[in-house]
Chain A
């Protein structure tokens, strides 16, 4: 079974991405996916890409369009507010299954 790699990104790599990462992992596992998540700061994204090679990026802070152009990005705010959370997890799961 393929393990998908998710990179979660927030401003400091401390508070929000940690929570988003846990939620993301939990909900994608519930959708039958094997997931590996790492967290980083917005400023570390480019340096993490070649090392971690994420399948998707889930970000709770703003990321410029030019950042990690080659990786599919999702706004992860729903993992924090709970509003639209299942829908977001569905979208990410669907995308991962399609690649």
Chain B
């Protein structure tokens, strides 16, 4: 069982100025596809799943979204991360009538979910750490890549 992933600078972007949720998801998914991490079916699957099963999480002082979809659309596991210049509303996980203003998006591309419990647990520990989220949100691209790999990889 391996939880080793590398989060490359090619899938991490800071202070994205997008204002539309769907366009943001498409943009992030396209980037993953371009780098070969996911299949061409991934973007559509991510967008549809987010509509049906929303992934916004309201933490202490940050809204975070963790869009993800079935492993069948993934070639190689990684996480694409974006910080947003302006918050974009996502629906809360398990409670779509509640909106969460999201400033950090962690788009998961998981090849074999059940084998990656350790990684997923690290992700959840990360989002529960308010000071770390603060660092993540204020980081430049290089710092963000470093922070992510320190805490997740």
B17 to chain A, nearest CB (A): 27
Q: Which residues on A sit within 8 Å (CB–CB) of B110?
A: 14-15
Contacts of B108 in A (CB 8 A): 15
Chain B contacts with A in 104-137, Cβ cutoff 8 A: 108, 110, 113-114, 116-117, 120-121, 123-124, 127-128
Q: Which A residue sits closest to B118, measured CB to CB?
A: A22
Partner of A42, one of B53, B66, B68, B113: B53
- The reply to whether A14 and B124 form a contact with Cβ atoms under 8 Å apart is no
Closest to A11 in B: B53
Q: Which residues of chain A are within 8 angstroms of B113 by Cβ–Cβ distance?
A: 12-15, 18
What is the bound-complex CA distance between A81 and B95, given in angstroms?
14
A99 beta carbon closer than 8 Å to chain B: no
Chain B residues in contact with chain A, CB under 8 A? 49, 52-53, 55, 57-60, 66, 68-71, 92-96, 108, 110, 113-114, 116-117, 120-121, 123-124, 127-128
A60 to B53, alpha carbons, bound, how many Å?
9
The distance in angstroms between the C-alpha atoms of A39 and B114, with both chains bound, is 10
- A49 close to B (CB within 8 Å): no
Number of interface residues, chain A, beta carbon within 8 A: 23
From B55, B69, B94, B117, A75 is in contact (CB under 8 Å) with B94
**A18 CA to B118 CA, complexed, in Å:** 10
B57 neighbours in A (Cβ, 8 Å): 77, 80-81
Q: Is the CB of B96 within 8 A of A62?
A: yes
Known: A14-B71, A60-B94, A62-B53. 20 other contacts (CB 8 A): A10-B53, A12-B49, A14-B68, A14-B113, A14-B114, A15-B68, A15-B113, A16-B66, A16-B120, A18-B113, A18-B116, A62-B95, A76-B94, A77-B92, A77-B93, A80-B93, A80-B124, A81-B57, A83-B59, A83-B60
With a cutoff of 8 Å between Cβ atoms, the chain A residues found around residue B114 in the complex are 14, 18, 39
Q: Among residues 28 to 77 in chain A, which have CB atoms less than 8 Å away from a CB atom of chain B? A: 39, 42, 59-62, 75-77
Tell whether, in the assembled complex, residue B69 and residue A12 are in contact, meaning their CB atoms are under 8 Å apart. yes
Which one of B92, B113, B117 has the highest number of Cβ atoms from chain A below 10 Å of its Cβ?
A: B113
